[in-house]
Every structure is written in structure tokens, then in C-alpha cells.
Chain A
Amino acid sequence: MSSTAATSSKGSHLSRIWVIATHTFTQLVRMKVFYFLAVFAVIAIASNFFDLPQHEGPEAVGANVLRSIKSWSLGAMTLFSVVLSVVATALLLPKDAEDRTLYTILAKPVPRFDYLAGKLLGVLLLVFVSLALMDALMTAVLQVRTNMVVAQQEEMAKAMGWPQDAITSLRNETLESGPNASLQGAVFAVFLRASIMASLALLISTFSSSTLFTTIVSFLIYFIGHFQADARNLYLHSGEAGEGVFARLASLLLSLVLPDFQLFNVIDAVIEGQVLPMIAVAKLALVGLYYAVFFTIASWFIFADKEF
């Protein structure tokens, strides 16, 4: 094959995947999935009202409510994104088969890998847009509330006769609890976890018999994935406590196949005010990319020989 033909083939692969992805995105949007944003808006605004009394001076005013907004919002984002990625992916193949769209597409010169990759990309696009909208809402609410807290603290500090340098120091400390790069890194970690779940659900849906089965198994694996580190430790330190061969093999299998979802719990540290370095985000992105690619290729192996 000439290089021009190879480039053309590569280009057509990408364009096919993109067409399927945008179609999938449109298909999912028409299912009115964005209605959950109204629920998220209520959660983000409601989290403003849990400003419990504190015990001391200006530095304590509003300290809890800023964390409460981040905690509630990132919690809701995690929940919505994981549910959305699993349920949306679980729906896709059975729905295409039911609507007979799948047969129409596969009857054309569309490689099965392109079809799967397009479907996955469509779901990821939906999750990304959803998270971006939730992130924008959270950032707006947090920014407004941070400004209010800073104003309250300054007013109280001035009334108590604090010197200007102390007020400035307090202001800077409070602003660190507002929207920042680490918070965006945490939202990206939420997206990565949802991406892995979407690709995992895609893999399960290639051999599952129903949407319900895919959803249930995906969520089970989601929770098991939070114990992957325990399985890994068991394997790496096997022999110390006299585990049997079966336990060793099972822990090895779990460690190799399942992602360690605990890694993405860095969002808790960000809510607690820790700084999330870019390098940590990049390393998490590598983990996300590895599992997304691994599960997609595994889906392709199964889907490639599937008879319809």
C-alpha cells in the first residue's frame, strides 16, 4: 500500500469514528440525559446553606461552607459521571441491535473496531460535556461564595482592629479554598474514572445479554476496583501470611485486570485543601488511558467474532 493510501485509510478511520461518536452523542442527548443538571444545580446551591456555626474569629467565618460546596459538587459529579458512563454505554449496543441500526452499520464497510471506538468516544464526549457544565456551575457558585466569605471576613477583621497585613494574609488563605487549578485537576480525575468505567461497560456489553446485566456487573466491578490495591498488596506480599496458591492467583488476576480506582480518590485530598500537582494528574491520565485502551481492545476481540 502506498503512503497516500495509508494516510487516506487512517483519515477515513478517524472520520468514521468521529461520525459514529457525534451520532452517539446526539442519540444520548435526545434521551434527555442533561435533565440531571437541574438536580446538580439544586445540590450545588443547597450546599451553600450548610454554614454551621464556628467557634472563633474572622478566620473561621465560612470556612466550612466552601469545603461543603466542593465536597457536595465533586461527590455529585462522581456519582453522575459514573452512572452516566455505565448506563449510557450499557444502553448503546442493545439499543442499536433492537433498532437494527447495528446491522445497517456493520453491513457497510465499517470495521467493528471503528464502530466500538466511535460509540465509546460518543459516551466520553457526553460525559465530558456534562462534567464541563457541572464544573462551570460549581466554579461559579464557589467563586460567588468565596467572594462573600472574603467580604464577611474582612468586615469582621476590620471591626476587631486587625492590621492590614493580617487581613491580606487571611484573604489569601481563604482564596486558596476557592476555585483553583487543583479543583480542575480533581474534576479531570472524575472524568478519568468515568472514562475507565465507560470502556469497562463497553467490554461487558459486547458479551452480555442485557443492559441490566451490563449495568449491574459494571457497578460490581466499580466497587471491587476500590479494593484492587488490597489484592495487589496480597499478591506482592504473598507468602508472608501463608496464603494458598489460589489466593495468590486470584489476587494477581484481580490486580492485572481491574483498575485501582482508589488512585482517583485524590479528589478527597483536593476537597481537604491539598494541592494536586500537574505531574500527579498526568500520571493518573496515563492510568486512565491505559485501561480505556485495554478494555476497548478487549471489547474489539470479542465483538469482532460476534454473530448477529
Chain B
Amino acid sequence: MPYEQALGNSLRDAGLFPPALQITTRDKIGQTSSAVALGGLRTLVATFLNLRAFTYFTEQRWQDVEETFNTIVDLAPHTRYYWETGSWHMAYNAASYYINDSKLPPLRRREAWRMSILKGRVFLERGIRNNPDDWSMLASYGFLLSDSNKYPAFRDKNASFAAAADAYRKADATGKALGYVKRSAFYALARVDGREAEALAEARRLYAQGKINHTPTMKALLFVLQAWENPQMDLLASAIEIFETPENAYEALSAHWERTRDGFPVHGVSKAIVLLEERLAIPKDQSVLNKPLPPPGGPDEWFR
């Protein structure tokens, strides 16, 4: 008996022993599934429940999807897929459904949309607490908080971007994350008001690491943050230095100017575009600055 006790404790410490099945979970899955789960087949029950949750998803029964995923993660708390998929259903699929749900008045649709995103966020936070070393969950969390279609659901935009940058950095710190995570951390940080200096330092560090980080967004943000640091800088020279040709610079900065929904800073962009248009002899009527900007989207437009 003491040997079994000690072995049980050591397996629990090593994360090889699942936590005891909650009574609420036993109630939800029923007697037969409880017996199967107690018989050492918890992940098998979770697999079947996942199939059931998929049926609920196809039938757009969002409350059932949420409850089923809560049960699934009680059964298999270390499976990344269930946390990410459950969060995805709540924050993306259910939220998108409410944007177009014609049965509800706009105000209620907006609240249902916001609540779905918050539920997805909370669900993923629970997953991260259970699996603090899982880079993918941390990256998914960062993605959710900085997603241009989702961050309007959070009260404080600045805090959301800061939390996203923090999550991406933690993901990177696990040492297992893919390369894009470093850049994503920077993209989130660049959108935090008041942390421009930190973002610029990070941009320079990543840019110096080589071509792998020379993405159009990285180049545009490096330009913007340098313009923020030194408003008197030669915008034209700086743009050509970063983007290599005036044509590339004009194309990239125009695209950056039009990305209104992402919430990126635009210090010096309009001035640089004017200078580049002069340099490239682009007529005023064809200027990107004179074109109407794409609608910003977001809840104010969706729930009119």
C-alpha cells in the first residue's frame, strides 16, 4: 500500500496521472461513460465526446459545444487540440455566427458576439494554466488577443495587445515555438501605445537577424517606429533604404496605410507616401491618400 501511494504520487508529480474525475463531469457523461472513463479510458471517452461536439458545431448549438468541450478537457486536460478547438469554436465560429444571426436584435447580437469571444479567451486561459509549457496554446492566445476581428471585443485594446505580446514571448521562451512567433510578439507589441521604444528596439533586433524576418509588415513597422523616434528623419531616404527601391517602398507603405483594421501605428507614413508619389510622378488623383480607406469593419459596422 505505501508503495502504491508513493508510485501514485510520483506519477502525479510527473504529470502522468490525470486529476480525479469531477462529479459534475461524471454526471455530464453519464454512468456508462463514467465507468469507461474510470476503467482507464478517459481519452477514449474524450474522443467520442469530440465527435459529439463536432455534430453540435455543425448544428450551430453553441451552448452544447461549450458544455461538451468543458467536459472533454476535464477528461483530457493535457491535449492541446481540445483546448484550441474548444476556444476556436467559441471565439471564432460562435462569434461569427452571431454577427449574421438575423433572429436577434443588433444589441443582443453584439453582446452574444462579445461573450463568445470572451468565453473562447477564458477557455484558452484555462488551457494555458493546465499546460504552461505548451507554445502552441500560448501562440493561439496571442493570436486571439491581437486578431483584428476580435480585439474590439475586449474593453482595453492596449492591454489586449500587451497581453498578446506577452503570450507570444512566453511561447517563444519555451524553445519549441516556430519562427513566426517572435515576429508575432513584435507585431502585437508595436500596437501598444506607450511602448514604442521597446518595440523599435525589438524591430531592430529581429531585422538584424536576417532575411527571414524581413517581411513586408516588419519593414513597414521598422519604418514607422523610426519615424516615431525621430520625426525629423529623412522619410524618403529611410523608406528607400528599408524597402530597397522607391517602387517597393510606395507599394508597401500604401498597403500599410490601408490596413486600418489591424490597428498598426502609421507615424510618417502619409508624409512618406506624398514624397514617394512626387518621386515616382504619381498623379494626385491616383494617390492612395485620395482613395477612400477600406471600411474599418468591427462591431460598430456589423451590429448597426
Which A positions have Cβ atoms within 8 angstroms of B?
Answer: 50, 52, 54-56, 59-60, 63-64, 67-68, 71-72, 74-75, 78-79, 162-163, 165-166, 169-170, 173, 193, 222-223, 226-229, 232, 236, 255-256, 259-269, 271-274, 276-277, 280, 283-284, 286-287
Contact = CB atoms under 8 A, between A and B. Distances in A.
A258 to B, nearest CB: 10
A229 B4 CA distance: 9
A259 B3 CA distance: 11
B78 interface: yes
Nearest to A269: B16
A287 B5 CA distance: 11
Contact of B179 (A54, A165, A223): A165
A273 B178 contact: no
B82 to A, nearest CB: 9
A75 B3 contact: no
Contacts of A56: 84, 140
B151 to A, nearest CB: 18
7 contacts: A59-B136, A67-B79, A72-B44, A165-B179, A232-B4, A265-B40, A280-B16
A226 B17 CA distance: 13
Given A75-B41, A163-B212, A263 B15 contact: no
A78 B43 CA distance: 12
Nearest to A169: B178
Contacts of B81: 54, 63-64, 67
A236 B92 CA distance: 48
B47 A71 contact: yes
B218 to A, nearest CB: 14
Given A55-B88, A269-B16, A269-B17, A284 B7 contact: yes
A55 B84 contact: yes
Contact of B7 (A68, A162, A283): A283
Name, among B35, B40, B50, B80, the residue most crowded by chain A CB atoms within 10 Å (CB to CB): B40
B40 A193 contact: yes
B87 to A, nearest CB: 9
B51 to A, nearest CB: 6
Given A232-B1, A274-B15, A280-B14, A267 B7 contact: no
B38 A268 contact: no
Given A55-B85, A170-B178, A277 B39 contact: no
B284 interface: no
Given A226-B38, A255-B1, A269-B18, 6 more contacts: A163-B212, A166-B178, A166-B179, A169-B176, A268-B18, A286-B3
A72 B43 CA distance: 9
Contacts, number: 129
B99 interface: no
Majority-rule SS of A interface residues: helix
B38 to A, nearest CB: 5
Nearest to A173: B176
Interface in B78-135: 78-81, 84-85, 88, 92
A78 B39 contact: yes
A265 B45 CA distance: 13
A1 to B, nearest CB: 35
B11 interface: yes
B54 interface: yes
B4 A260 contact: yes
A280 B10 CA distance: 9
B8 A263 contact: yes
Contacts of B46: 71
B5 A236 contact: yes
Contacts of A284: 7
Given A166-B179, A272-B79, A280-B11, A287 B39 contact: no
A272 B58 CA distance: 26
A274 B180 CA distance: 25
B236 interface: no
B5 A232 contact: yes
Contacts of B170: none
B256 interface: no
Contacts of B10: 280, 283
B68 to A, nearest CB: 13
B191 interface: no
A286 B4 CA distance: 10
Contacts of A232: 1, 4-5
Interface in B164-209: 176, 178-180
Contacts of B35: 223
A273 B88 CA distance: 21
A29 to B, nearest CB: 27
A54 B92 CA distance: 12
Interface in B35-65: 35, 38-44, 46-47, 50-51, 54
B39 A222 contact: yes
